[in-house]
Structure 1
Amino acid sequence: MILYFNLTKLRLMNFYQVMTNVQLFLSQEDLETLKLKDAAKVFDEKYKAFDAAVQPMRGDVDTKELNKLDERRDKALIGLYGHVRVFTGFPEEAKATAAQQLQAILLKYDKAPQTKPLREETAIVSNVVSDLEVADAKAKLTLIGADKWLDELKDANKKFEAAYNARTQRNMDLVGQTKEKRIALDDEYRRLAHTINALATLGGEAPYKRLMSSINADIQQALLA
């Protein structure tokens, strides 16, 4: 008999793997002879719906895009900090003084914001950009030729934040969709398991023994993982 019906304790991907294996076990049986053709068909439909909901979570394209934007932002930060630092020792006093004052603004937040966690880096960069867009600071940036770095940093940070927020919302939507499909598949699995047990009770366990043993062993292993 199938011994396991409550799979709610399984983590999402463990549950997904178990259901994938159940589908595989069913495909290896003569469902017509076992009188499971209709039950297996409904299970397969629920499984495919769940699989479609899970797939976007397996390969996160958004993360790759975020990494590219973060790399661009990091380059702008390193470029800005480096440019300002070089000019602090410039032979023209006005430019050196401007650079020293700009450096004081930058170091007020952090020496290397690009090493911080993503959300913290975003907040730091937003503050840096805000401070440097003040007319006096912007004039100093222009004086030492670093204004283009600020433009690049502002644009990169803005696009990163938008992409990050979009990914967060997308993941929230995916979690909701996946939960709904999981519940439906979980319910269908229980119906399938009860059907198999009922048929085994009425007609004898022998024809169902391999299927039941495979399902039991797989779920037991998943619950112990």
Structure 2
Amino acid sequence: MKQIKGFDIGHLNNGAHFLFVANAHKRAIADAAVKDKVANELQMLERAVQEEDRILVTSQKSLLSDDIREADRKRDNIYRAIVKAVNAYMLFPNKETVEAAKVVKQLLKDYDIKITMQLDRETGLLLNLISDFENKYQTEIAKLGLTHTIIELKNVNDKLRGITEDRLHAKALVIIGNLKRARTASDEAYRTLVQKVNALAVVEGDAVYSTFIDQMNTEIKHYKEEALAHPKKKDDNKKPGEGDPKKPGDGKKPSNPKKPDDGKKPDDGKTPKPGREEDPGEDKV
């Protein structure tokens, strides 16, 4: 008697989980015999799959809100004003002012911040630039009369940094909670469908349902082997001489010996530190 094999889909990551239940629904819809006999179960699975899909799409959307956009716009305006002021001071008749402007302009050039940058990257670069303004180049900034402008830039950059972190954290918690509920609903709908098909195969015989059952078992086998496969551990208990037949220390010189240090000086510490960007990978909930 053919039966759909048991498979705990709760161990799949988010993408694989959605694809599995979506494919199960698609196959059941395509099988006329199954579709007619499990209509209610298919409706429940369809609703669950649609909700899971909606939440996954939402999780990939931009988390920028109006207050973040407004703070970013204000920050960009202040930064542009600083750049324009420095360029204007380059034409100032006072020599000390011009020299200070040259130093600051070179610093701006080194950081090469563009207001079209990815939000977090711009925030990180400005964090380091502002630190340089307040410490290493405090005198030059004061000579150009930009001290208060730098303070204003720092305030809005810190505000934007805080808003972004809080919003990302809050949004992530909401998405995780919603996705857990959606996955649980999909799990239950899938289990109910499988139980119904297996019961029908026992009562009515599996001939009518064999195609669907075979398809699902093939899919389950594939996911168990691929999506849930764990890499084999290396055998760390090999005895000496086993495995690699090459003997250590055969006396041969390496074909391409490493050259000694080229004598280059280490970084002098003035190179701007880029902002750190993270790319959180997808994981199961």
| Cα displacement (A) at 1:157 | 6.8
Provide, for residues 153-198 of structure 1, a one-character-per-residue CA deviation record: whole Å limited to 9, x for no partner: 8656744653454234213311221012101211221222122111
Aligned length: 219
Q: Counterpart of 1:206 in 2: which secondary structure?
A: coil
1:141 is aligned, of 127, 140, 144, to: 144
Give the residue type in structure 2 aligned to 1:15. H
Q: CA distance change for structure 1 residues 150 and 218 in 2, over 3 Å: closer, same or farther?
A: farther
Q: Counterpart of 1:56 in 2: which secondary structure?
A: helix
| Cα displacement (A) at 1:92 | 3.7
Provide, for residues 88-126 of structure 1, a one-character-per-residue CA deviation record: whole Å limited to 9, x for no partner: 89874221443477589x69xxx53859x9767635524
Are 1:112 and 2:111 an aligned pair?
A: yes
Q: Counterpart of 1:205 in 2: which secondary structure?
A: coil
TM-score, L = length of structure 2: 0.56
Q: Which residue is 2:41 aligned to?
A: 39
Give the residue type in structure 2 aligned to 1:142. G
Give the residue type in structure 1 aligned to 2:190. Y
Q: Which has the larger radius of gyration?
A: 2
* More helix, by proportion: 1
Q: CA distance change for structure 1 residues 186 and 84 in 2, over 3 Å: closer, same or farther?
A: same
TM-score, L = length of structure 1: 0.68
Contact 1:90-1:96 within 8 A present in 2 as well: yes
Moved more, 32-41 or 76-85: 76-85
- CA–CA distance in structure 1, aligned partners of residues 121 and 35 of structure 2: 61
Give the residue type in structure 1 aligned to 2:111. A
- CA–CA distance in structure 1, aligned partners of residues 187 and 113 of structure 2: 44
Specify every segment of 5 or more residues in structure 1 that has no aligned partner in the other structure, as ranges. Answer: none
Give the residue type in structure 2 aligned to 1:41. Q
Q: Which residue is 1:218 aligned to?
A: 219
Q: Which residue is 2:264 aligned to?
A: none
Q: Which residue is 1:50 aligned to?
A: 52
Contact 2:34-2:197 within 8 A present in 1 as well: no
Specify every segment of 5 or more residues in structure 2 that has no aligned partner in the other structure, as ranges. Answer: 228-285
For the aligned residues, what is the CA RMSD?
Answer: 4.5
Q: Which residue is 2:23 aligned to?
A: 21
Q: Which residue is 1:201 aligned to?
A: 202
Q: Counterpart of 2:209 in 1: which secondary structure?
A: helix
Give the residue type in structure 1 aligned to 2:38. L
Give the residue type in structure 2 aligned to 1:53. I
- CA–CA distance in structure 1, aligned partners of residues 159 and 144 of structure 2: 20
Q: Which residue is 2:189 aligned to?
A: 188
Q: Which residue is 2:177 aligned to?
A: 176
- CA–CA distance in structure 1, aligned partners of residues 158 and 47 of structure 2: 43
1:59-98 correspondence to structure 2 within 5 Å: 60-62=61-63, 92-98=94-100
- CA–CA distance in structure 2, aligned partners of residues 212 and 72 of structure 1: 60
